[in-house]
Structure formats: C-alpha cells, structure tokens
Amino acid sequence: MRKAVLTALSLAVLLAFGLAGAGIADAQTLRIGVVGDIDNFDPHWNQLIAFRTFIRNTVFSSLVRLDENMRVIPELAESWEQPDDTTYIFRLRRGVTFHDGRPFTAEDVAYSFERTIENQMTFATKLATVESWQVLDDYTLQVNLKHPWAPFLDDLVEVAIVPKGAGDELRSRPVGTGPFRFVEWLPNDRIVLEKNPDYWNAGHPKLDRIVIRVMPNATVALANLQGRELDAVWDVPVAEAQSVARDPNVVWQRPAGSGSILLVEINASEGPLADRRVRQALAHALNKMVVQRTTYFGEGEAIWSPLPPFSWAYEPQAGYDFNPNRARELLAEAGYGSGLTLTVDVISDVKVMEDLATVWQAGLAQAGVQLEIRRSALPVWLDRYVNHDYELIINTFNVSGDPNSMFDVIFRPLLASVYDNQAMLDLILEGARTSDEAARAEIYKQLQRMTVEEVAPVLIVQTQPVLAVTSPAVTVFPINGRNEVMFERVEMR
Amino acid sequence: MARFLVRRLVHGVPTVLLVSFLVFGAMHLAPGDPAALLMGQAAARPENAAALERLRAEMGLDKPFLVQYVTWLSGVLRLDFGTSNRSGLPVLDLILGRLPATLELVAAAFILSLLLAVPAGVIAALRRGSMFDRLLMIFAVGGVAVPGFWLGMTLILLFAVQLQWLPSSGYVPFFEDPVRNLRHLILPAVTLAVYLLAVFSRFLRAEMIETLRQDYIRTALAKGLSMPVVAIRHGLRNTLTSLWTIMGMELGSLLGGVVIVEQVFGWSGIGWLAVQAVNNQDYPLVQAIVLMIAVGFTVINIVVDIGYALLNPRVRVDS
C-alpha cells in the first residue's frame, strides 16, 4: 500500500515537473516549416510572399498594415488626416525603438521612402504617386501626392520602415521596429527570431521565439510536423494537407476569405486570341467544377470576377457555363470551325497549374481545340512571362485589401503589351483616382463585368484555399487573405 | 614522392579549369534571367525595365560571356569567389558554413558501411551458398536498387513519425550539441550507408572468393593455420587494394546520393545548397561549389594513388 502511494506520488511529481518543464521549454517557441530558403532580408528588395510573412511582417513595420480582414489599420502611424485629396499628415507613434536601440522618428520614414524610390525596386511603384514629403517634427510627417490616389494607404502597407542610414547590410542582418527581432540565419537551414521586449503594442507578441525551419518540400515538412519536430507548416497545398487530415495531431488553419487567385493571362495581341469569340469559347470549354474537385478537393470558390469575394468592390459574375458545343459554335463564327491549336505555359513543378491545364485540355478537345501544355522550370516560365512570349500562361496572384492591386499589378502590364483596351485602362486609372469608396465600387464593378465579357486580359479560374497546418498546441494562428500569418498574435498552449 | 605529388597536382589543373569553364558555359546557356528571377513577376512591369537593367549590371551579366568568365577566374585565383546573387553573402562563407555537415554525413556513412561490409563480405565468402550468403546477396541487389528518396522517407515515417525514436530532419552542429547532432545524423547516415554497404559487401565477397583460390592461401592452410585466420591475415589484406579503389570511386559517385539524402532529411549541407543555387540561378555560388567538387575529385584521386603504395609495397609512386 505504502509502495503504491509512493509510486503514485512520485509519478504525480514527475508529471507535474514534466508538464511545467514542457510549458516553459516549448510553449513559447514556435517551430514553423517553410518550403525553400529565404535568402535576402532587405525589405525594399524582397517581394516573395514567404519573406513578407516571415521577416517583413515580423522584423519590420510600416506606417500602416492590413488586419485579418484585409482592411488598413494603424501601425507606426498612430493616426492620419487628409486635409485634401492629395495631402496626408501622419502622426507617428512615440517611444518606438529599432531593434538596435535607436529611437524611431519621422526621419526614418523619410529615409525609407527615399531608399525605396532610389533602389528603383519593386516597391518603388508603390510610391510612384508621391510628389514630396516633409518632416514637420520628429513625430509628424506630411506626404503630398501628385494627384488623388485612393489606394495610397494600401500601397504604404508595402513600404517597410528601416533605420535612417541603413544600407546593404539589411540583406543579411535585418533591423526594424517589428514585434520580433532577428537573431540568426543559417542559410538553407533556419532563421531564428526572438521577441522584441520593447515592442510598442503592449502584451504582444505572445511568443518568445520563432524558429523558421527551411524544408525541401511539403511532404517532408508534414512528416516533421507529425514527428513533432515542427509546430506548424506554412502554405500547405490542399492535396498534401489531405494526406494528414485524419491525424488528430494536425489542425488546419485558414483565413476568413482567400485573396489568392488562380488565373490564365491571355496574349490577345494577334492571331486567334485577338478575337473575343475565341476567348469566350475558351471560357466555355473550361470545366471549373472539375478543376475545383481534382485540384483543390472541393476547396476554394469558382469565380469569374478578378476580385476575391471578400473585397468591398466584389460583384459576382455569371460567367460562362461549361458548354463545349457553344464553344464550337463560337469558334466556327470566328472562322476556326476546322480546329485550332493553342499553347499554355505552366511552371513544371506547380501541380495546380498542371492540373488546370489538363482539365482545360480535355474540355477544349471536345470543342475542337488542341491545347498543348508547355511545362518549364520557373526561370524559363518567368522569362516567357516577362517578355510576354506566350499565348496563354497560368499564374497565381494574391489580391491585397484594395481592388487596385489586381488591376495595377496584373492588368496594367498586360494592357500595355498584349491586350489593347483603352476603356479598361481609363477605368483602372479612374478607380484609383476617385476618393469616394462607393463611387470606386461602381467603377470596379464595371471593370469586373468588362473582364468577364471580354475574357481579357485574364480568365479567372477560382480562389485558391490558403492553408497552414499546426499541432493542436497552437491555439491562435491568424492568417489573412494573402497568406500572411499575424505572428504577433500567435499563441501556444 | 614529393615529385609525384607535384606532378599529379599540376595534371589536375587543366581538368579543374575545363570543368569550371563547362559549368560556367552551361549556366549561362541555360534559359532564364537571374535578375528577373530575383525581381519576380514585377520584372514584367514596363516601369521596372531600368531597374532590371541595373540589376543585371550589378550581377555583371551585361558583359560578354568570356569577360565574365575571366573576371570570375581571376577572382578565384585570388581566393575571391565573389558574393551570392541572392543574399549578397560571400560565397566562400556559405560553402564553408555547409561543408562540415556534408563531410560528417559522408564520413559517418562510410564508416558505418565499412564496419558492416567487411565482416559480412568475409563471412559470405567463407560460407558460400549458406543462408547468410544468400540473404546478403539479396540485400546487396536491393540496396543498390532502392532509391535514396524512397528509403529516406520510409525511415522517417517509421522511426520519426510512427515510433518517434529519432528526429525526422534538420542538422545541429556537433559543437553546439553533440548528442542531438548524432541523433539527427543516424537516419540520413543509414540511408546513405545502405547503398555503400550493398556495394562494398558484394565486392568484398567476390574478391575474397577469388583470393581464397590463390596458391599462397593453400600454402598457409597447409602450414596448419585455421581458415578464419588465413582469411583475415592473408585473404583480407590482399583484397584491400581493390577495396581502396572502389572506395575512391564510390566517394565520387556518392555526391548524387548526398544531394538527395540532404534534401529528404533537411540536412543543410553542400548538396542541398547546390540544388537551391541552381534553382535560383545563383551563378557565383553554383560555380564555386562545382569548382570545389572538381578539386575534391582530383585530390581524392591522388589520395587513392598514394594509398595504393601504402597498401601494396609492390607499387611505387615514383614509377
């Protein structure tokens, strides 16, 4: 009896220590897997989504940021006012310091604007409408625009604030004002971040450390999650997630609405694709239901609009039913009754692209069109994309909170090169230069209808499910519609 | 000996140069633009054309091919391998940072496979046709045939996911935590060793069978020595020269296996670094890695030749 009590007691003590120990040692560190290395930490350079979620939004901050519902909320700017359509006055947060201890002031914002523009890189386009800025005092900054620009705040989300004078060393040692500070980077292995104890948002972040582990592919990453070497895996394809769906130790995490869109960009500058009837025939030959079932296991939403359903400007479009006979008729009207051969470009190891192409190929065959699928490695695909050397090319895009992001990033380059439509171009500009949101929504609805009717410059397929998987120990894991995890709010048991 | 070494090293130089030139050419002939790859889809925007040009110039890609090659080569002669296209970090640091992991993995796989292959090969040769011999031969065929990727994933599913005895992936530097380092090492080392064990044991068995037929073995047996003693003292010693050759050859061809095993187990060594560098079209990094491998091959060959002389007194390195 005494022995039994002793055993029970020692077991209880062991358990208590074990659990307490586990609580202290593990609960504060999130080990998260990402496929592929992040190898450049300069926030004015790197625009990859993995960089944005893991470094850009953890180590760095902007004047404003997006919340889970893709709306702009204050970050380093506490508030702002707009005396007129082209002037913004930002009041900056006081008492914020960079991770190296330097205080944050309006001079750092001015320097970050300057550096972004001088670098001529990706994000310079986000400041293209800015005419000038003045540092009114340490915590007040005035920005003057060349003309009214409604998406300005949405654009500012992309402009990271770096300390004044920061240069190329940011590429390997990032310093910002974000909730986590950079500790170390072992290329191709891991990136370690730790809690910024001086972070302005009291009570955040909840985690003490984030260990970002580089994984060769999703299968290996999921095996690591199941083997308890990881607590989370970011950006998991649905097909892979399905394979672990029945494991009780795996939890799916997803945003309220996905802004990730699978689409086909169309070179409508010459040949058969310059004819609207041919493009409409292509739409009639695409069986979206099969795409959704085979590629995404029924996940995501089949849409025709170039905006995701969560957007305030979204208008559902009826689109084109799957009807190979109608496609055949349209082709005959356009003079291609005797058949047609087209080529579609996909990235060779991106399965969803290949799946879409295969389903479309089958539908088109019924309409008398032979679709050749050209698979290339990413560098080759990108080369064709950049030089518009394609007929049809499959792509994906993450729409931001403002509808302009889709029209500016995807539509405008196409309208300048492979699809001539002045009315569309005018509407895109008008949408961005109109301040009133209700008026803007009307403009974007017109653009959505026009895109569907013309089937140009893009054919929208569907929203892609945005998915991360975690262990049940991860209790809070907010993700927004463009696949960014709000690490500041992530919590573990 | 010294003359031999110098001569072999000098002979190695043209080989290494040729390899470096071929790789440099192949990388530049491959379609795609490293600058656009760095910039991503934004490179398609007309307003970014100037930035793209500037990026190409920064990477030195705007110069003619031969100029780029000579610039690179002259840097290498001054031990300046340049910086990575992607991270801007010195290429030499990236490689030296990853090298210990790969060397440790290869050494562990070699030692493990030899420790098992030598006794297995000798016993199988002595007991030809026995159950042990047959099982070993089945294993030898299977071990060579099974793909490393599949074997690695199977071991992960069994020992890491199901049994949870060992970690599924990652690399912990030995001096940071020796115990964890070894725990992480076991599965990848075994995956690599299975292939080597199959090759070595089958080879040793065949060599031993051949050696045991020699006259001097009969003489030794006639002196009254027991078979196991004869097999080890006379038989094994005489198969070592050939085993040494096979080891040298396998060390070279192991590289392909290392690339795959490192990826499966997230073992951040040179193999995985090379794959990522190729995918990213990180020219300076790819070239430095290939150059290092070419030099490594040359050195291994020389070491193998010197080893002959030590193992077999009839061979003279000066001859």
Which is nearest to A306 in space by CA: A166, A403, A415?
A: A403
**248-307 of B, contacting A, C-beta below 8 A:** 263-266, 268, 272-273, 276, 279-281
Cβ of B264 within 8 Å of Cβ of A386? The answer is no
Size of the A and B interface in Cβ pairs below 8 Å: 151
- When pLDDT is cut at 50, 70 and 90, the band that residue A27 belongs to is low
Q: Please list every residue in chain B whose beta carbon sits closer than 8 Å to the beta carbon of residue A418.
A: none
At A116, the amino acid letter reads: T
Cα within 13 Å of Cα(A463), Cβ side = 27
Among A166, A448, A168, smallest CA distance to A311 is for A448
Are residues A187 and B40, on separate chains, in Cβ contact within 8 Å?
A: no
CATH topology of domain A61-168: Dipeptide-binding Protein; domain 1 (3.90.76)
Is the CB of B169 less than 8 angstroms away from the CB of A220? yes
Rounded to the nearest 10 degrees, the angle between the axes of helix A422-433 and helix A437-454 is 160
Chain-chain contact of B97 with A40 (C-beta, under 8 angstroms): no
Cβ A134 vs Cβ A141: under 8 Å: yes
Mutation target among B28, B47, B54, B166 for the A interface, most CBs of A within 10 A: B47
- Return the amino acid letter for A70: M
Identify the residue with better confidence: A237 or B229: A237
B259 interaction partners in chain A (CB closer than 8 Å): none
Q: Kindly determine whether residue A189 and residue B268, on different chains, have CB atoms separated by under 8 Å.
A: yes
Nearest-by-CA chain A residue for B88: A171
Q: Which of A39, A45, A227 sits opposite B167 (nearest CB)?
A: A227
Tokens in use for B249? 């050859």
> Which chain A residues contact residue B40 at CB under 8 A?
47-48, 122, 382
| CATH H-level superfamily of A260-463 | Dipeptide-binding Protein; Domain 3 (3.10.105.10)
pLDDT at A166: 93
Q: Nearest Cβ partner of A125 from B34, B47, B266?
A: B47
Query: B317: distance to nearest CA of chain A, Å?
Result: 42
**Polymer length of chain A:** 493
Structure tokens at A377: 């490695």
Question: Is pLDDT of A261 > 80?
Answer: yes
Q: Residue A384 has which token pair?
A: 């064709």
> A443 is written with which tokens?
């403009």
Please judge whether A40 and B54 are an interchain contact, meaning their C-beta atoms are less than 8 angstroms apart. Answer: no
A436 falls in which pLDDT band (50, 70, 90)? very high
Q: Residue A338 region, left (φ>0) first, then alpha (ψ -120 to 50), else beta?
A: alpha
pLDDT of A473: 94
| Alpha helices by DSSP H, chain B | 2-29, 34-39, 49-58, 65-77, 91-126, 131-145, 148-155, 178-211, 215-222, 227-230, 237-264, 270-279, 283-311
Task: Check: CB of residue A40 under 8 Å from CB of residue B87.
Answer: yes
| Site from A386, A387, A425 to mutate, B interface, most B CB atoms within 10 angstroms | A386
Nearest CA in chain B to A389: B44
Q: How far apart are CA A345 and CA A355, in angstroms?
A: 12
CA distance B175 to A304: 57
Nearest CA in chain B to A215: B266
pTM: 0.82
Contacts of B280 in chain A (CB under 8 A): 39
In angstroms and rounded to an integer, the radius of gyration of the C-alpha atoms of chain A is 25
Q: Which residue has the tokens 């009570």?
A: A203
CB A91 within 8 Å of CB A198: no
pLDDT at A144 over 70: yes
Decide: B305 and B9 in contact? Cβ < 8 Å: no
CA distances from A268 to A322, A332, A414, A418 (A): 22, 18, 9, 6
Q: B158-170 burial, b for 16+ CB within 10 Å, e for fewer?
A: ebbbeeeebbbbb
C-alpha closest to that of B167 among B148, B151, B153, B186: B186
Whether B272 sits inside 8 A of A216 (CB atoms) is yes
Of the partner residues A37, A47, A186, the one whose CB lies closest to the CB of residue B276: A37
Distance CA A322, CA A367 (A): 11
Closest partner CB to A227 (pick from B34, B97, B164): B164
**Contact check, Cβ <8 Å, B171/A48:** no
The minimum CA-CA distance between A138 and chain B, rounded to whole Å, is 32
Q: Where are the domains of chain A?
A: 13-42+178-256+467-492, 61-168, 260-463
Which residues, at least 6 apart from A397, have a Cβ–Cβ distance to it below 8 Å?
A: A260, A261, A263, A406, A409, A410
Which pLDDT score, from 0 to 100, does residue A64 have? 97
Distance from CA of B216 to the nearest CA of A (A): 54
| Residue in A120, A219, A220 nearest the CB of B54 | A120
Cα separation, B136 vs A234, whole angstroms? 44
The shortest C-alpha distance from B94 to chain A (Å) reads 7
> Residue A9's pLDDT band (boundaries 50, 70, 90)?
very low
User: What does the alpha-carbon distance between residue A461 and residue A261 come to, in Å, rounded to a whole number?
Assistant: 7
| Terminal-to-terminal C-alpha distance of chain B | 10
Number of C-beta neighbours around residue A366 at 10 A: 15
Instruction: Judge contact between A36 and A30, C-beta under 8 A.
Output: no
Residue A120: pLDDT band (50, 70, 90) is: low
Query: What DSSP string runs through A402-424?
Result: STHHHIIIIIHHHHTTT---HHH
B40:A122 CB<8 A: yes
Q: In this complex, is the C-beta atom of B54 within 8 Å of any C-beta atom belonging to chain A?
A: yes
Contact (CB, 8 A) for B102 and B258: yes
Q: List, as own/partner pairs, every contact residues A89-94 make where C-beta atoms lie below 8 angstroms and the sequence separation is at least 24, other chains included.
A: A89/A136, A89/A140, A89/A141, A89/A142, A89/A143, A90/A63, A90/A140, A90/A141, A90/A142, A90/A143, A91/A139, A91/A140, A92/A63, A92/A138, A92/A139, A92/A140, A92/A141, A93/A139, A93/A200, A94/A139
Considering chain A, what is the average pLDDT of its residues?
91
Contact A462, A301 (CB under 8 A): yes
Chain A residues closer than 8 Å to B164 by CB: 227-228
Q: Which of A213, A228, A380 comes nearest B164 by C-beta?
A: A228
A227/B160 Cβ within 8 A: yes
- Residue pair A207/A487 in contact (Cβ under 8 Å)? The answer is yes
Instruction: Identify the pLDDT of residue A16.
Output: 42
At residue A71, the 3 state secondary structure works out as coil
Q: Which amino acid is at A136?
A: L
B30 interaction partners in chain A (CB closer than 8 Å): 379
Give me B60's structure tokens. Answer: 């030195």
Give the pLDDT band of residue A20 (cuts 50, 70, 90): very low
Taking only the tens place, the pLDDT of each residue in A145-154 is 999 999 999 9
Instruction: Give the pLDDT score at A399.
Output: 93
* CA atoms of A465 and A481, how far apart (whole Å): 9
Q: Bridge-partner residues for A340, per DSSP?
A: A369
Q: What is the pLDDT along chain B (319 residues), one digit of tens a residue?
A: 677 778 878 888 888 888 888 888 888 888 888 888 877 777 888 778 888 888 888 888 888 888 988 988 899 889 899 888 877 788 998 899 889 999 999 999 999 999 999 888 888 888 888 889 899 888 888 888 888 888 998 998 888 888 888 888 888 888 888 988 899 999 999 999 999 999 999 888 888 888 888 888 888 888 877 877 778 777 787 788 888 888 888 887 787 788 889 988 888 889 888 888 888 888 889 989 988 888 888 888 888 888 877 777 776 655 4
Let me know: does A91 contact A80? Beta carbons within 8 Å. Answer: yes
Could you give the CA distance from residue B20 to residue B292 in angstroms, rounded to a whole number? 10
Q: Phi and psi dihedrals of A185, rounded to 5? A: -135, 115
> pLDDT tens, A329-363?
999 999 999 989 999 999 998 889 999 999 999 99
Distance CA A379, CA A4 (A): 68
Residue in B32, B98, B169 closest to A224 by CB: B169
Q: At what angle do helices B131-145 and B91-126 cross, to 10 degrees?
A: 160
A228 and B153 within 8 Å at the Cβ level: the answer is: no
- Per-residue confidence (pLDDT) for residue A230, from 0 to 100: 93
How do A232-233 and A29-35 pair as beta strands? parallel
The SS3 of residue A234 is coil
Under CATH, what is the fold of the domain A13-42+178-256+467-492? D-Maltodextrin-Binding Protein; domain 2 (3.40.190)
- For the record, the structure tokens of A267 come out as 């070179």
User: Are residues A383 and B273, on separate chains, in Cβ contact within 8 Å?
Assistant: no
- Integer CA distances (angstroms), A72 to A64, A153, A301, A468, in order: 6, 7, 24, 23
* pLDDT 10s digits, A299-335: 999 999 999 999 999 999 999 999 999 999 999 999 9
Percent share of chain A, pLDDT over 70 = 94
Say what the ipTM of the complex is: 0.72
Q: Which residues of B touch A186 (CB under 8 A)?
A: 97, 268
Using a CB-CB cut-off of 8 Å, the residues of chain A touching B97 are 186-187
pLDDT for residue B317: 56
Distance from CA of B165 to the nearest CA of A (A): 9
B41/A382 Cβ within 8 A: yes
Question: A189–B48: do the CB atoms touch at under 8 Å?
Answer: no
Nearest CA among B114, B128, B109, B250 for reference residue B190? B109
Please report which helix (H) or strand (E) contains residue A110, including its range.
helix A106-118
Is B151 near chain A, with CB under 8 Å? Answer: no
Contact: A379, B98; criterion CB under 8 Å? no
* Residue from A170, A189, A222 whose CB has the most chain B CBs within 10 Å, to mutate: A189
Task: Mark yes or no for CB contact B31/A379 under 8 Å.
Answer: yes
DSSP A444-479: HHHHHHHHHHHT-SEEEEEEPPP-EEE-TTEEE--B
pLDDT tens-digit map of A59-92: 999 999 998 889 999 999 999 999 999 999 999 9
* Interface touch B263/A125, C-beta < 8 Å: no
Distance from CA of B110 to the nearest CA of A (A): 24
Say how far apart CA A286 and CA A303 lie, in whole Å: 12
pLDDT higher than threshold 70 for residue A276: yes
Which residues 93-132 of B have a C-beta within 8 angstroms of A? 94, 97-98
Question: Which of A133, A129, A126 is CA-nearest to residue A89?
Answer: A133
Position A14 scores a pLDDT of 43
How near does any CA of chain B get to the CA of A220, in Å? 7
